[in-house]
Structure 1
Amino acid sequence: MLDYTCFEGILFPANLVPKETLQNVCNKFVVKEDDLIILTYPKSGTNWLIEIVCLIQTKGDPKWIQSVPIWDRSPWIETGKGYDQLIKMEGPRLMTSHLPMHLFSKSLFSSKAKVIYLIRNPRDALVSRYFFIRKLNIVKKPDSLGTYIEWFLKGNVAYGSWFEHIRGWLSMRECDNFLVLYYEDMKKDTMGTIKKICDFLGKKLEPNELNSVLKYSSFQFMKENNMSNYSLMEKELILTGFTLMRKGTIEDWKNHFTVAQAEAFDKVFQKKMAGFPPGMFPWE
C-alpha cells in the first residue's frame, strides 16, 4: 500500500499514479487547443483553485460543484482513473496535474491550451503536506517534521523537488496562455484573483456572479461540501482524523519550524532559486 513508483528519478504514490499512465501522459496524451490545465506542486491550494475555476465556468451557480466530485470535474491526468476519463472526454476539458514540466505531454508546448500555475510558499506547502500524509494510507510517513524537511529539501518526496517544479514551469511565465498565481495573493485578495482568472479565460461575470464564486469557493463552504472535501475518498486510503482542509492559512510554517530548520531551509532556497528577480515571490 505504501509503495512509491519511481519514474525518471521522481517518486510517485504507486497506488494512485501507475508507471504506465506516466508513460502515456509523457508520450501519447494529446493536449487540445481548448483544454484548461490547472498545475500545482502538492498542497499549494490546488482544490481551492479547481473550485474557483468550476464556479467561474458556471457563473457562480453552485449546482455543479455540489453534485459532482471534484476529481470528476477536473480529472488528474497522471492517475489511472483520471487519464482514462480525459482521453474519452469531449472538449473543452478541465484537468489537473502535479507533474513537473519535463514529464508533461510535449503536445502542450506547441498548443494554445490555457494553463494556470499556482505557487505557494514552499515552507507552508511542506507543513500542510506533512500533516496531510500522516492521515493517509498512501505513502511512507516521516517520523517527525524534521525528517520531512530533510526529505523535502532533497526532493525525496512524491512529485520530486519543489524547487525543480517551480523553476521548470516558471520558464513558461512569459507565454500568453500561461497564468501564474500565488496562494498568498489568493488569500489576501480572493476577489482580485477571481477577476484575474476571469480575464485570462475570457469570461465576463456580473458582480452578483463574482460574489457567488467568492462565496461558494470559501474555505468554510468547501470544508462542508462533500463533493470537494475528499470525504468520499476510498476508505482504505485514509486514516482516522483525515481532513483535506486543515487550516488554509499562510505562514503556518512559523508555528512548526525551529530557528535552525528555518535557516537551513532559507539557505537551500537561496541557492536553488538563484536567478529569479528579487521580490518575485510574495512571501519574500
Structure 2
Amino acid sequence: MQGKMKEAENMKDEDKLYLFQGALLPSIMCPEENMKALHDFQARADDVLLVAYPKCGFNWMVSVLRKIISKSTGREAESRPHPPLIEFMAPEQQKVVKDAPSPRLLGTHLHPDRIPASFYQQKTKMLVIFRNPKDTLVSYFHFSNKNPVLPAVDWDSFYSDFMKGNVAWGSYFQHALAWNKKMEDPNVKVLTYEELKKDLGGCVRQISEFFGFALTEFQVKEIAGESTFDAMKNSSSGSHGNLGNVFFRKGEVGDWKNHFSSEQSAEMDEAFKDQLERTKLGDVLNYKQWC
C-alpha cells in the first residue's frame, strides 16, 4: 500500500481514475488486470463478504469483523493495515487468497452487479453498510484530498461529480437502488453507519448471528468497547501506520451541516426522494431524519 501511495504522488490527477464497465475506478489500486481476473474469482459459501460504498464505514467494519472472527474461531486476528478489497488484489494475490483458510474475510466497494458471480452462486453471506449520503459525500471529499491515489478536488466540483456519479466506484444512488432489489435476500444483511454509531454492541450481536459466529455476551461487549470510532482512530497509528489519518477522520453523524450550502442540501434531499424514498432500503435509511 505504501508503495502504491508513492507511485500515486508522481501521477497526474487526470490519470488517477479510469472507466471500467461504466464506472470510474482508481487506476493504481484497481487496474484493469485486477478487474478482468475477478471475473473468475471463486467464492465460498462460508466467506464473510463486507460490502460498502466508499466512506460508509468499510474500514471500521473490517476491524469489527476481524475481531468477531478471531473471538469465535480462536484464530489470531489479522493486523494488516490494507483492507481486504477484492478489486485491490492483483491476479497473483487472488491465487493466494484461493488457498487461504476459511472463513475468509473479503470486501468490496463494487456495485452489486459487478461482484463476481460466484458469490451469488455460492450463496455467500454479505454484510452491506450504508450511510447518510450527505455525510458520505463529506467524508469522501476529505478522503480524496488526503489520499494520493485519488484526484485532489475542490468542494463544489466534488459535490457536482458525486451527484452525477462521476467519482470512483460510481453513483451512490445507483448502488443503493441495486441493493434495494436484494433486501429480501436472506444472504444479505443491511446495516447503517448511524445504527452502528448508536448501538455498536447490538450491531456486533446481529452481525455475529448473521454469519453464524458464536460469541458470549462478554465477547460482544469487549469487541464493541474496542471498536468505537474514537478507539479505532486512537489506535490507527498502530493498525494503519501513516495511513491512519487517511482512513479515520471524524466519524461523526451530521458533519455535512458544516459543508453543504442550503441549495446543495435541498438538491440532495430531492434526489433521495426521487430515487429512494419509496423503496425498502429508503425505509431502512430513514432519510427524513437527515433532511
**For residue 135 of structure 1, what is the aligned residue in structure 2?**
146
**For residue 183 of structure 1, what is the aligned residue in structure 2?**
193
Q: Is the 8 A contact 2:277 2:283 kept in 1?
A: no
Aligned-partner residue type, residue 16 of structure 1: M
Q: Tell me, in whole angstroms, the C-alpha distance in 1 between the residues paired with 2:104 and 2:127.
A: 14
Distance 1:107 1:61, change over 3 A: closer
Q: Relative to structure 2, which stretch is displaced further, 214-223 or 158-167?
A: 214-223
Q: Relative to structure 2, which stretch is displaced further, 269-278 or 246-255?
A: 269-278
TM alignment of 1:25-174, pairs within 5 A: 25=38, 27-59=39-71, 64-65=76-77, 68-71=79-82, 75-81=84-90, 83-143=94-154, 145-174=155-184
Distance 1:104 1:270, change over 3 A: same
1:267 and 2:270 are equivalent in the alignment = yes
Q: Relative to structure 2, which stretch is displaced further, 219-228 or 172-181?
A: 219-228
Aligned-partner residue type, residue 121 of structure 1: N
Distance 1:269 1:114, change over 3 A: same
Aligned-partner residue type, residue 286 of structure 2: P
Q: Is the 8 A contact 1:39 1:118 kept in 2?
A: yes
Query: Secondary structure at 1:21's aligned position in 2?
Result: helix
Aligned-partner residue type, residue 270 of structure 1: K
Q: Tell me, in whole angstroms, the C-alpha distance in 2 between the residues paired with 1:200 and 1:280.
A: 17
Q: Relative to structure 2, which stretch is displaced further, 266-275 or 35-44?
A: 266-275
Higher helix share: 2
How far residue 274 of structure 1 moved from its aligned partner, in angstroms, is: 5.1
Aligned-partner residue type, residue 285 of structure 2: F
What are structure 2's unaligned runs of at least 5 residues? Answer: 1-10
RMSD: 2.3
How far residue 280 of structure 1 moved from its aligned partner, in angstroms, is: 3.2
How far residue 87 of structure 1 moved from its aligned partner, in angstroms, is: 2.8
Q: Is the 8 A contact 2:125 2:187 kept in 1?
A: yes
Q: Tell me, in whole angstroms, the C-alpha distance in 2 between the residues paired with 1:159 and 1:229.
A: 25
Q: Is the 8 A contact 1:60 1:212 kept in 2?
A: no
TM alignment of 1:174-213, pairs within 5 A: 174-213=184-223
Q: Is the 8 A contact 1:70 1:227 kept in 2?
A: no
How far residue 185 of structure 1 moved from its aligned partner, in angstroms, is: 0.7
Provide the TM-score with structure 2 as the length reference.
0.86
Distance 1:64 1:251, change over 3 A: farther
How far residue 275 of structure 1 moved from its aligned partner, in angstroms, is: 3.9
Aligned-partner residue type, residue 273 of structure 2: Q
Counterpart selection for 2:29 from 7, 12, 16: 16
How far residue 226 of structure 1 moved from its aligned partner, in angstroms, is: 4.2
Q: Relative to structure 2, which stretch is displaced further, 273-282 or 244-253?
A: 273-282
Deviations 1:72-99 (A, max 9, x none): xx62100134635423423221101000
Distance 1:228 1:282, change over 3 A: farther
Q: Tell me, in whole angstroms, the C-alpha distance in 2 between the residues paired with 1:242 and 1:176.
A: 36
Distance 1:253 1:170, change over 3 A: same
